[in-house]
Structure 1
Amino acid sequence: MYVRFGYVAMSELLQNASPSQTMTATQFEKIVDREARLRRLERISNANLDNCLRLVKHNAAHDISFFRLSSRLIPLVNHPLTEGWKYEKAIFPNLKQLGEYIRSKQMRVDFHPDHFVVLNNPDEEVFNRSLQTLLYHYKLLKGLGVDPTHRCVLHIGGKKHGKVSGLETFIDNFENIPSQLQKMIMIENDDTVYHTEDALYLGEKLGIPVVFDLHHHDVNHPETPLSELWPRVVATWSNSPLPVKMHISSPIDGELDKRHHDYIDKDRLLHFLETINGTCEELDIMIEAKKKDVALFTLMEQLSAEPSCELTSEASIHYMP
């Protein structure tokens, strides 16, 4: 099984390369002239895109071809204070340049919009705000020249009216989303409410790929064993142009700790790979560790000493138990 590793949004090794520089609403309002305010936002946005280009070049130098882009590239996007702001034109040259580089290196990139993107909320205003955020990500992907299909990971949402109601509301609301936004979506099991089997219920019913999170599963899992659930996870990717994707992180203090460690527990990963061996030919694993690329390189160094792991690059292995 070929396994490729990626990391999230920012590097611990590159200095002054944040793709998420921002401007608060308070700072925005202190600038008297509205046009000057917006030009300031555009300068920050383009600086974020410049840094993102530095990040993907850093990744390419280390054979990292799987990366989660920051959702905070454009500050105050869709905020009431910036209503009517046509940011797309101002950022297009830098966004196009970033996309050309990503495509030239055949990198897999995607997004994980913030937790306030909730599709199972019955409140129409919350739902519409979520749609606006999805549209923003769609515009970014189109500007990058990247196929938007299966590029945005979402959690299922809350359970204000119970889990069953939450799942059915997700289904109802999903059917009201424009088809181009539907195609972007992947869903992930969470560590509190909706476990892997819940995500599979939606994924199988709606044709959405399930992004399996191992840490979340360890903390919040159904009675059904993983050996039975995993083939169903893989099957949700059968119509995707992309390989199966999953997330890994490790608890800080004890198996049930929801907080993310700086690094990855190599032994837990190897146990998982042994469990699923033979179920898929390719697997992309997104590392959600606080040490970002340092955690990736540390894990690769550890895996290099394992007989079951043949390193094929600085960020990929062949797993052969």
Structure 2
Amino acid sequence: MNLAVRQDNLERLPELGLVCITASDQVRYRTVTRKRLLQLSPEEQENTLRKLYTENLARLNRALDFCAEHQIRLYRMTSALFPFADDALGETILAEFSDELRSTGDRATALGIRLVLHPDQFVVLSSDRPEVIENSIKILAAQARILDLLGLPRSPWAMMEIHGGKSGRAERLIQVIRDLPEAIRSRLALENDEYAYSATEILAVCQAAEVPMVFDAHHHVIHEQLLSYEDPSVSEILLAARDTWPVPEWQLVHISNGSDSFNDQRHSDLITVMPSAYRHAPWIEIEAKLKEQAIEKLRTDWLPTLSTPYAVNAAQQ
């Protein structure tokens, strides 16, 4: 792919995204366990979920305030925003918030904040157990409904990103993705991981299933036991992954650093090493323990060093 800046594009630096919460207590969410909820009477369950949904929606709006104040244009919402929304009771209560949710989604759009999701580890579309796949689709359907209620587009702009799941079942994964409901499939993206699906393997799945690939450079170096983000494969896969996005300027990637060593899978507090190829990544989720502090450090130490900002179309949606 030609990375030259086209005259009809606007130049900008990569956008650095906040993942779910802040290191401070400014962005936090409430939850309730299934065990606790089932101990309550039906009326108490309903009241508990309604109160929790009200509070978490208010907190999502505070997260938008935080992102706007700190000029963060990418925000990964927590998949636990509305617990039990994939159950009948939660689904019914969530419908009561349709107007408020649409207002919040419109507000995010007006603020220029891109909202994405990373559903939990229970989503395994490549499982050899039909009931696991069925439950995974149920979870994804609930998350897609939340995005619909927010008024977000059915496209990877409002991405739902998952891992490949059970290794050695690429063909099954591809077939399940092809058969997904449109509300899910139109937003779905796959990420490479440390052990089950390498970047090359998940790239092939994305190409066959026609869904975008989210490239994680740190997962890649762990899987391939590389000693540097400057291995040529990092740049090569970044560019190949871009071709899986229907709008290349929407490409989203992840970055984390190892906590105790370069290849440590545990996340460090801050990001101190960035792949040089990431100067061409338009959207980067920052997976570091200190969240907004990691973003600020990259803005101070890394972004000013970039000699070639990413070129992006003015109209992104």
Structure 2 Cα separation of the partners of residues 229 and 13 of structure 1: 34
Q: 2:48 aligns with which of 40, 61, 80?
A: 40
Match of 2:211 in 1: 208
Match of 2:264 in 1: 257
Aligned positions of 1:1-321 closer than 5 A: 2-15=13-26, 17-19=27-29, 21-32=30-41, 34-79=42-87, 85-150=91-156, 151-159=159-167, 163=168, 166-221=169-224, 225-237=233-245, 239-240=246-247, 243-265=250-272, 268-269=273-274, 272-273=275-276, 275=277, 283-303=282-302, 306-308=304-306, 318=309
Structure 2 Cα separation of the partners of residues 107 and 93 of structure 1: 19
Structure 2 Cα separation of the partners of residues 230 and 242 of structure 1: 13
Structure 2 Cα separation of the partners of residues 222 and 187 of structure 1: 21
Structure 2 Cα separation of the partners of residues 6 and 121 of structure 1: 30
Offset of residue 70 of structure 1: 0.9
Tell me the alpha carbon deviations over residues 36-91 of structure 1, each in whole angstroms, 9 at most, x when there is no partner.
21121111011011011001111101111111011111123335xx5585123222
Quickly say closer, same or farther: Cα 1:60–1:85, change in 2 above 3 A. closer
Quickly say closer, same or farther: Cα 1:198–1:37, change in 2 above 3 A. same
Amino acid of the residue matched to residue 269 of structure 2? D
Tell me the alpha carbon deviations over residues 90-132 of structure 1, each in whole angstroms, 9 at most, x when there is no partner.
2223312211210111211100001110111121111111111
Runs of 4+ in 1 over 4 A off after TM superposition: 82-85
Give yes or no for contact 2:53–2:94 (8 Å, CA) kept in 1: no
Structure 2 Cα separation of the partners of residues 40 and 87 of structure 1: 11
Tell me the alpha carbon deviations over residues 183-213 of structure 1, each in whole angstroms, 9 at most, x when there is no partner.
1100000011211101110111121111000
Structure 2 Cα separation of the partners of residues 109 and 309 of structure 1: 28
Unaligned runs of 5+ in 2: 1-11, 227-231, 312-317
Structure 2 Cα separation of the partners of residues 25 and 229 of structure 1: 40
Structure 2 Cα separation of the partners of residues 100 and 167 of structure 1: 37
> Structure 1-normalised TM-score?
0.84
Structure 2 Cα separation of the partners of residues 259 and 29 of structure 1: 34
Cα-Cα RMSD = 2.3
Structure 2 Cα separation of the partners of residues 179 and 143 of structure 1: 15
SS across alignment from 1:225: helix
SS across alignment from 1:94: helix
Quickly say closer, same or farther: Cα 1:192–1:93, change in 2 above 3 A. same
Quickly say closer, same or farther: Cα 1:119–1:258, change in 2 above 3 A. same
SS across alignment from 1:186: strand
SS across alignment from 1:286: strand
> Structure 2-normalised TM-score?
0.85
Identity within the alignment, %:
26
Give yes or no for contact 1:13–1:294 (8 Å, CA) kept in 2: no
Amino acid of the residue matched to residue 132 of structure 1? K
Structure 2 Cα separation of the partners of residues 73 and 307 of structure 1: 36
Tell me the alpha carbon deviations over residues 190-245 of structure 1, each in whole angstroms, 9 at most, x when there is no partner.
011211101110111121111000110110139983343332111111x2385211
Give yes or no for contact 2:102–2:151 (8 Å, CA) kept in 1: yes
Deviates more, 1:223-232 or 1:105-114: 223-232
Give yes or no for contact 2:249–2:282 (8 Å, CA) kept in 1: no
SS across alignment from 2:97: helix
Amino acid of the residue matched to residue 50 of structure 1? A
Give yes or no for contact 1:4–1:283 (8 Å, CA) kept in 2: yes
